[in-house]
Amino acid sequence: MSGKARKPSNPWPSLGGGALIAPSLLACDFARLGEQIDAAAAGGADVLHVDVMDGHLVPNLSMGPPVVKSVRRHTDRPLDVHIMVTDAAYYVERFAEAGADSITFHIEVADEPVRLAERLHALGLGAGVTLKPGTPAEALKDVIPAVDLVLVMTVEPGYGGQAFMHDMLDKIAQVRGMLTAGQRLEVDGGINPETAGLCAASGADVFVAGENVFGSPDIAAAIRALRRAAAR
């Protein structure tokens, strides 16, 4: 247990250049969550990706503020919270209090995305925006100047262990063209060394991986293999 309650801290400006690896806790054995978090942290995880699902925006339920609070107390790794909820604006303070360092919301359900990003920054958090495979990159044009990160979903959100959608590679390149140098481009869904390499070549620099990391008998080796493949 190395974490302690602390103020949220926007991780993205301070995490240096190069590929960042974000293991997704959704793939963990929740009966051994602390142990698996420690293995990922010891294995070099840059941030921990936390999938919040409301059974409404996506057809699955996962974890809420109480789990984030426990994870926060257990680790000092930055928590990259991906909220797949219809009413993101209602939950940001709750996840900030629970210990999130960055929150990424879906553009498909954000009425005032720029204001939401500004609220996240006012709380000291990182701000990210994400889009489902069917949503065009143009939907982001107004909010991009206000965020630290864009997350391009490379599977339909809702479940781990799905196959990578290769037709998202063009969208990744398009989004990279819309970002400034300091902004991050995260990919999420079906990421393994082969697909991480393809995404890196298209402009991604943050790689979420669930099954590929926590489904591996050697979590540290899996993280090293992703970092090698994603290095440009």
Active-site annotation holder among 51, 101, 148, 205: 51
Q: With contact defined as beta carbons under 8 Å apart, do 82 and 50 qualify?
A: yes
- CA nearest neighbour of 207 among 222, 30, 38: 222
Helix (H) or strand (E) holding 129: strand 126-131
Under the binding rule (CB under 6 A), the answer on residue 128 touching ligand DX5 is: no
Judged by beta carbon distances under 5 to 8 A according to partner kind, the member of Zn ion, ligand DX5, none in contact with residue 161 is: ligand DX5
Alpha-carbon distances, residue 48 vs 8, 80, 155 (angstroms): 14, 6, 19
From 110-118, 168-176, 194-202, 203-211, give the range in contact with ligand DX5 by CB under 6 A: 203-211
- Binding residues for ligand DX5, total number by CB under 6 A: 21
> Which residues of the shown chain bind Zn ion in the complex (CB under 5 A)?
51, 82, 188
Under the binding rule (CB under 6 A), the answer on residue 160 touching ligand DX5 is: yes
Active-site annotation holder among 80, 148, 188, 205: 188
- The answer to whether residue 188 is catalytic is yes
Alpha-carbon distances, residue 198 vs 65, 168, 225 (angstroms): 34, 10, 14
Nearer to Zn ion, 101 or 188 (CB): 188
Name the residues annotated as catalytic.
Answer: 51, 188
